[in-house]
């Protein structure tokens, strides 16, 4: 599938190529993620996310699907850099926060946008999965932002970047917890797995 589409903004096309290269292919989710990230950065007035402003913003992503890769490519945000936070909420949505100004927006992509794809493509596509994906990719590239997304101003209590090295020992398992991620349960300092419930059990 070609990344280039007639009528696509050149700056968007460039970022789509970068996102597709990182993700492995171009799909509806990478187009959505790319456009979502470009809109989010614009709305919170971050113009140099990979340079002078790389510590001035935070992104909260609510899905673990394809948009994540595109958002990472466009913004430079990474979990390892602590400016990308994953919320396992299963929604095609992301919140972008300017840590200096407090300006923040949450952008969602309603599932209803799939039903609008036919309005923006002239070419015939097959009814199989590949055909549907190709149609959505073509449509999402040119669909007006107001139809693709719902953008709302929000307020977020985002953590600030810090060089502070903070560690505490969990009173449950004895393991070390970094960066103030502990919880207090019945007066005891605990890691989240001990205090809120493990996703694993020791097998032996």
Is the pLDDT at 163 greater than 80? The verdict is no
CA angle 80, 81, 87 (to 5 degrees): 70
Separation CA 200–CA 183 (nearest Å): 18
CA atoms within 13 A on the CB side of 89: 12
Q: Which of 161, 63, 43 is nearest to 103 (CA)?
A: 43
162-204: which CATH architecture?
A: 2-Layer Sandwich (3.30)
Q: pLDDT for 99-127, tens place per residue?
A: 999 999 999 999 999 889 889 887 778 77
Strand partners, 151: 107
Domain range list for the chain: 10-153, 162-204
DSSP string, 64-130: SSTHHHHHHHHH---TTTTSEEE-----SEEEEEETTT--EEEEE--GGGGGGGGGG--S---SSHH
pLDDT of 5 reads 45
For residue 14 the two structure tokens come to 């460039």
pLDDT of 57 reads 96
Q: pLDDT for 16-36, tens place per residue?
A: 999 999 999 999 999 999 999
Q: Under a CB-based contact definition with an 8 Å cutoff, are residues 191 and 170 in contact?
A: yes
CATH 3.30.1330.130 fits 10-153, yes or no: yes
Q: Which of 77, 72, 85, 92 is nearest to 157 (CA)?
A: 85
Q: pLDDT for 43-87, tens place per residue?
A: 999 999 999 999 999 999 999 999 999 999 999 999 999 999 999
Q: What's this model's pTM, rounded to 2 decimal places?
A: 0.86
Q: pLDDT for 175-204, tens place per residue?
A: 999 988 999 999 999 999 999 988 787 787
């Amino acid at each position: 599938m070609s990344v280039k589409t007639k009528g696509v903004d050149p700056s968007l096309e460039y970022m789509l190529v970068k996102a597709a290269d990182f993700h492995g292919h171009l799909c509806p989710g990478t187009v959505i993620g790319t456009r979502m990230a470009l809109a989010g950065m614009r709305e919170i007035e971050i113009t140099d996310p990979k340079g002078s402003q790389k510590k001035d913003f935070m992104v909260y992503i609510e899905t673990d699907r394809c948009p994540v890769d595109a958002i990472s490519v466009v913004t430079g945000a990474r979990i390892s850099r602590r400016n990308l936070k994953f919320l396992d909420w299963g929604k095609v949505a992301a919140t972008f926060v300017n840590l200096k100004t407090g300006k923040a927006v949450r952008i969602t992509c309603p599932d209803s946008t799939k039903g609008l794809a036919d309005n923006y493509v002239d070419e015939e596509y097959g009814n199989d999965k590949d055909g549907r994906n190709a149609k959505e990719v073509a449509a999402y590239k040119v669909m007006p932002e107001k139809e693709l997304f719902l953008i709302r101003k929000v307020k977020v209590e985002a953590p600030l970047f810090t060089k502070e090295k903070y560690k505490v020992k969990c009173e449950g398992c004895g393991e070390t917890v970094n960066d103030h991620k502990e919880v207090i349960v019945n007066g005891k300092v605990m890691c989240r797995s001990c205090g809120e419930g493990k996703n694993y059990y020791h097998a032996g």
